[in-house]
């Protein structure tokens, strides 16, 4: 299994608090034959020849390969603030405005509504308008214009009470 796939699985665990573990079983000839997802609090079996990615309560997710000791637990993240995050739904290049020289869709102090376009992410030469999933006032723009972004990377922090 490639490291980028494992990293994506770890990101899924971080983004989905109901998911406790993801197990991928290796079949014949090295192909991956099945994937099993369990809810938080449920334990997956640990037979040889497969990868289990799990998340302990209150800890950052870390991959564990069957037969190997997992890495040391990560330091718990600081308490979550009241700000909501708008995250990138894909890998690509972030653009804050519809065209060069135009005003950005959203900047610090801008009020955004659910469904409002807040930026563009270019992926494979396709311009994808990204809509806000939350409403409120933008308190932080976390990326710069024309900067590459990853799946799940925080783009904006929004105060829903602002």
Ordered per-residue pLDDT tens for the chain, 162 residues:
566 776 777 777 777 767 666 666 665 555 555 566 666 654 444 444 444 444 444 444 444 444 444 444 444 444 447 899 999 999 999 999 999 999 999 999 999 999 999 999 999 989 999 999 999 999 999 999 999 999 999 999 999 987
Nearest 5 degrees, angle CA 29-CA 7-CA 151?
A: 125
Position 137 scores a pLDDT of 96
At 59, list the tokens: 């800890």
| Alpha carbon 158 to its chain's center | 17
Strand residues in 27-153 grouped as ranges (E): 32-39, 50-54, 62-65, 84-87, 92-95, 111-112, 117-123, 126-131, 136-141, 148-149
Position 139 scores a pLDDT of 96
Provide the whole-model pTM.
0.51
Position 159 scores a pLDDT of 95
Position 87 scores a pLDDT of 95
Query: Minimal CA–CA distance to 67: which of 43, 50, 42, 44?
Result: 50
- 84-159 belongs to CATH 3.30.56.10: no
At 114, list the tokens: 């659910």
Nearest 5 degrees, angle CA 127-CA 130-CA 131?
A: 145
- Say how far apart CA 15 and CA 22 lie, in whole Å: 13
* Cβ-Cβ contacts under 8 Å for 147 (sequence gap 6 or more): 93, 94
Domain residue ranges of the chain, discontinuous segments joined by +: 3-65, 84-159
């Amino acid at each position: 299994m490639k490291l980028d796939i494992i990293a994506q699985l770890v990101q899924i665990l971080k983004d989905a608090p109901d998911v406790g573990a993801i197990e991928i079983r290796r079949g014949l000839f090295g192909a991956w034959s099945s994937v099993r997802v369990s809810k938080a609090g449920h334990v997956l079996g640990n037979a040889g020849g497969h990868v289990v990615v799990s998340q302990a309560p209150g800890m950052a997710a870390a991959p564990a390969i069957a037969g190997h000791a997992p890495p040391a637990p990560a330091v718990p993240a600081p308490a979550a603030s009241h700000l909501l995050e708008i995250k990138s739904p894909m890998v690509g290049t972030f653009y804050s405005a519809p065209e060069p020289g135009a005003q950005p869709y959203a900047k610090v102090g801008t009020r955004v509504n659910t469904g409002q376009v807040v930026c563009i992410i270019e992926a494979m030469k396709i311009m994808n308008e990204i809509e806000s999933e939350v409403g409120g006032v933008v308190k932080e723009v976390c990326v710069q214009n024309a900067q590459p972004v990853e799946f799940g990377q925080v783009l904006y922090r929004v105060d829903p009470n602002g």
